[in-house]
Structure 1
Amino acid sequence: MTSKTTNKFSPEVRDRAVRMVLDHAGEHPSRWAAVTSIAAKIGCTPQTLHDWVKKAEVDSGQRAGFPTEMAEKLKALERENRELRQANEILRKASAYFAMAELDRRSKP
């Protein structure tokens, strides 16, 4: 899945950071404390790392939500649906235009 912004961190770094949070959460008073500590070490914001952790949990089935793969498929289907609706609208207008032109042609002697 591509972002509108340039991703500063490779998927490998993200996966490693998420694993670090999950593996070391017990060593901190709260999960947020673990996220904050690890985010500072890899150079991202705690909120970004927290989002990565939540996404990983959804993808693994530990948290409710749409897995990344399903979200990507849904987005692609919505884009295809939008394109097909636009194509149908263009064809509908073209059909009406040519039908009107044919009627004009027949009505002229």
Structure 2
Amino acid sequence: MAKRKRRTFTPEFKAEAVRLCKAGDRTIGQVAADLDLTETALRYWVKQAEIDTGKGLPGALTSGEREELVELRKQVKRLELERAILKSAATFFAKESK
């Protein structure tokens, strides 16, 4: 089986796919086949939509919280790199001044 190229979908497309699943007249598998999606991806979108509306498991992250977490992790990584650079610079200049 050939590997598929990774595709991206708009939030509107995802919302419409979830709406079709929740309509109840077709299964997730049928909707996934009709929209040429993987069933796994569509199940994830449905699960995430439930979490976003407050119907998910307690402690599950909403889409907004996930985005914020990703941004905070990027910021922490950048700050750690900046700190390491400044630490190296301070060590270098301390040796120079002796």
Give the TM bin, normalised by the shorter chain.
0.7 to 0.9
User: Which stretches of structure 1, 4 residues or more, deviate above 6 A after TM superposition?
Assistant: none
Local SS of the residue matching 1:44: coil
Q: CA deviation at 1:48?
A: 1.3
Looking at CA atoms only, which structure, 1 or 2, has the larger radius of gyration? Answer: 1
Task: Pick the structure with more helix per residue.
Answer: 1
Paired residue for 1:18?
Answer: 18
Q: Share of identical aligned residues, percent?
A: 29
Structure 1 unaligned blocks of 5 or more:
29-33, 104-109
Match of 1:77 among 56, 72, 81: 72
Give CA deviations for 1:2-22 in whole Å, capped at 9, x if unaligned. xxx431x33222211101111
The letter of the residue matching 1:87 is E
Paired residue for 1:31?
Answer: none
Q: CA deviation at 1:36?
A: 0.6
Structure 2 unaligned blocks of 5 or more:
1-5
User: Could you say if the C-alpha distance between residues 70 and 91 of structure 1 is closer, same or farther in structure 2, counting changes exceeding 3 Å?
Assistant: same
The letter of the residue matching 1:10 is T
Aligned length: 91
Q: CA deviation at 1:74?
A: 1.1
- Note the aligned Cα RMSD (angstroms): 1.4
The letter of the residue matching 1:20 is L
The answer on 1:47 being equivalent to 2:40 is yes
TM-score (norm 1): 0.76
CA–CA distance in 1 between the matches of 2:38 and 2:90?
Answer: 54
